[in-house]
Amino acid sequence: MRGLYVAAAALVFGPAAWAETPKVVTDFGPVHSLVSMVMGDLGTPEILLPMGGDAHDFQLRPSQARDLDSADLVIWVGPEMTPWLGRALESLGNGTSLPLLDASETLARGFSEDAAEHDHESHDHGHEGVDPHAWLEPENARIWLGLIAEALAQADPAQAAVYRANADAAQEQVTTIEADVAAVLAPIQDKPFAAAHDAYGYFAAHFGLNNLGSLRIGDAAPSGAQHLAELQAMLTDKGATCVFPEVNHQDDGVRQMAEATGAKLGAALDPEGSALTPGPALYGDLMRGLAKDLAECLADQ
């Protein structure tokens, strides 16, 4: 790929399609799950980030670099989420890159207002201020399934109908997941809360949640004293019900915020599915898990 990120509308393939099922490499759990649904019984995509790994900060093993170099198709969120993969693709691979966040069809949004005002110059992101956690918007999951199916159909025309049918079925699954999550969250939509990490903008907006903010603004930004003081004042003023830590992140600051504001400490949220077993079921498990963890804390108050 050598520095070229190919958007969905401009996929570039060689003169001949692959004779076998394409070798597909994905970045991490949510994307791997969606690709697995579309590939179905035809093949299994590779996943670079292991369970428990940090999507924002990861070092490829030599064997993974070889897998990436020999991949026919790399499907990933984009350098905003996994900058290490963006750097690797500048020198590895001759296949096709599909950065889903770059697709014109993707419903992209910025971080919170606080994050938008923060200086992002030191961040390792390709699009300043763009929130990469777009899979938490169910409509994006449906859109991405269609884009993934078309990329695979172009790569493997003999199985194009299968990929498209699998995507159609998976989109229906996402709609069912969406309805399940909405039902769980409906009783607690007005309950104010805060989180450790500014990762829930898509999820909160789609399901109408009262997310007051996060300790860590943006994605990789450290927490400044002024921001924490302002957040503490707002949570106290609004009567925040819960403050949620996050898997793979230190929770000392979250505990201190909960104690200072009188909010309950919720379960550690896992917006990237890093604690879940990779596979086609991960996307549903991730979305339902978020809803369950939020509702269990917020409904108790």
Question: CA-CA distance, 26 to 280, in Å (whole number)?
Answer: 13
CA distances from 212 to 114, 193, 218, 242, 301 (A): 11, 6, 14, 10, 16
Residue 283 lies in a domain: no
Question: What confidence score (pLDDT) does residue 220 get?
Answer: 55
What range defines the domain where residue 21 resides? 8-181
The last residue of one of the domains, among 181, 213, 239, is 181
Cβ neighbors of 36 (< 8 A, separation 6 or more) are 44, 45, 278, 279, 280
Nearest CA among 132, 285, 121 for reference residue 198: 132
Do 50 and 168 sit in the same domain of this protein? yes
Give the CATH number, domain containing residue 59: 3.40.50.1980
Do 192 and 172 sit in the same domain of this protein? no
Exposed, middle or buried, 127 (CB in 10 Å: 0-12/13-18/19+)?
Answer: middle
Residue 288 lies in a domain: no
Question: What confidence score (pLDDT) does residue 127 get?
Answer: 39
Do 36 and 86 sit in the same domain of this protein? yes
Question: What confidence score (pLDDT) does residue 120 get?
Answer: 35
* Tens digit of pLDDT at every position of the chain (301 positions): 433 334 443 343 333 344 589 999 999 999 999 999 999 999 999 999 998 888 888 889 999 999 999 999 999 999 999 999 999 999 886 779 999 999 999 999 998 654 444 333 333 333 357 899 999 999 999 999 999 999 999 999 999 999 999 999 999 999 999 999 999 999 999 999 999 989 999 999 999 999 999 988 765 556 688 888 999 999 999 999 999 999 987 788 899 999 999 999 999 999 999 999 999 999 999 999 999 999 999 997 6
Do 133 and 19 sit in the same domain of this protein? yes
| DSSP code, position 278 | P
The pTM of this model reads 0.88
Do 198 and 144 sit in the same domain of this protein? no
Residue type (1 letter), 38: V
Residue type (1 letter), 175: T
Do 50 and 145 sit in the same domain of this protein? yes
Question: What confidence score (pLDDT) does residue 258 get?
Answer: 93
Residue 285 lies in a domain: no
Question: What confidence score (pLDDT) does residue 122 get?
Answer: 32
Question: What confidence score (pLDDT) does residue 55 get?
Answer: 85
Q: How many domains does the chain have?
A: 2
Do 86 and 215 sit in the same domain of this protein? no
Question: CA-CA distance, 40 to 162, in Å (whole number)?
Answer: 9
Do 169 and 194 sit in the same domain of this protein? no
